[in-house]
Amino acid sequence: MSHLNPLPVIGRDEPPYEDPLDLMDEIDRLKVEKDATILAHFYVDGEIQDIADYTGDSLKLARDATRVEQSTIVFAGVHFMAESAKIMNPDKKVLLPDLLAGCSLAESCPPDRLHAFQEELREEGRDFETVAYINTSAAVKSLCDWIVTSGNARELIEERVPKDKEILFVPDQHLGRYLMEVTGREMILWPGACMVHEVFSLQDLMRAKRNNPGALVVSHPECPQNILEVSDFVGGTEKIRQFCMEHQEPKVILVATESEMIHALKKSAPQHEYIPVPGIMTDTGETCACNRCPHMARNTLQKVRDCLRDGQPEILWQPYFDKAKDVLERSLLENKRQSSDMNGD
């Protein structure tokens, strides 16, 4: 019988349970011992946001990474974020708790396909600049003229991309369409989408609105047009946070973005009630988990502790980081006025 493959044991790969409070103590101790700091995106588990030294959206975290004094950065987020932190801090050790924490947008735009498409456009005589959402690999960034985040895209396009150039926008078609609308610029759109924001159901949202008269809807511009059209506010995660803080009067707020964002919203604007979209709107009354990003969810307290303790997985410098560094720095650090007021940094 020994030649037969053993049956898989459910839960065998799950790490043994550890008390979150013990893990937090261990992480605090290791941070000092290893001279490390923790950056966490608003989409990672709330308990990781709570122990982080910096939390924020992609723009704020990319900028925070340049101000860190410690020699090691632990980036609780996804691969492209940790990669950007490394690119902007070549001399620091940058750790990502789980190297498999990717992004469906970044994956939709491989550098060889982008390069081939750019060549095609050039052969057609098109005069364009390539604007990439930060949710791309460093290899893609190195092929682009500008990098934007949801926090600075509109301002950067309006103020810095020459009016006489066409724009090739990669990789998020929904954000690109939204930017065409608000900037009035025509764009060639790459057909990528975020696996989380693309699946919000208009029907569930309309039912939630009907069941909560007077509720406000906030949505991320990675959502399709039909969701944005019924929203009271559209913005990246930091702008959503600011919007909720500005409303003093308690409201029910329907949140059309990754559901862990609600942790940050409850901390910053506790006067409101937040309902994730889709939340408990299915016929059975069950909560749908499709508004949780599976990549962000790879970050756990255990993995944060492990990477601090072991000094890995580490983002290592690659030759194309040099070009990506130029593009990232001039897009996110120069002319910083363009979104700092709105992001409160």
261 binds ligand SF4 (CB under 6 A): no
135 binds ligand 13P (CB under 6 A): yes
293 binds ligand SF4 (CB under 6 A): yes
Q: How far is CA 120 from CA 24, 141, 190, in A?
A: 52, 19, 14
295 binds ligand SF4 (CB under 6 A): yes
Stretch that binds ligand SF4, among 86-94, 183-191, 268-276, 289-297 (CB under 6 A): 289-297
Detail the DSSP E strand segments found in 240-316. 252-256, 273-276
* Single-letter amino acid, residue 6: P
Which string of x and - marks every residue 22-61 that binds ligand 13P (by CB under 6 A)? Answer: --------------------x--------------xxx--
User: Is the Cβ–Cβ distance between 115 and 123 less than 8 Å?
Assistant: no
258 binds ligand SF4 (CB under 6 A): yes
CB of 219 to ligand 13P, least distance (A): 11
130 binds ligand 13P (CB under 6 A): no
108 binds ligand 13P (CB under 6 A): no
Q: What SS3 class is residue 55?
A: strand
237 binds ligand 13P (CB under 6 A): yes
| 9 vs 223: CA distance, rounded Å | 38
Q: Which residues pair with 252 in a beta bridge?
A: 273
Query: Which is nearer to ligand SF4, 34 or 258 (by Cβ)?
Result: 258
Write b or e for each residue in 128-165: b if 16 or more Cβ atoms lie within 10 A of its Cβ, otherwise e. bbbbbbbbbbbbbbbbbbbbbbbbbbbbbbeebbeeee
| 43 vs 259: CA distance, rounded Å | 7
Q: Which of 149, 152, 331, 338 binds ligand 13P (CB under 6 A)?
A: 149
Q: By CB under 6 A, name the binding residues for ligand 13P.
A: 42, 57-59, 103, 135, 149-151, 194, 222, 236-237
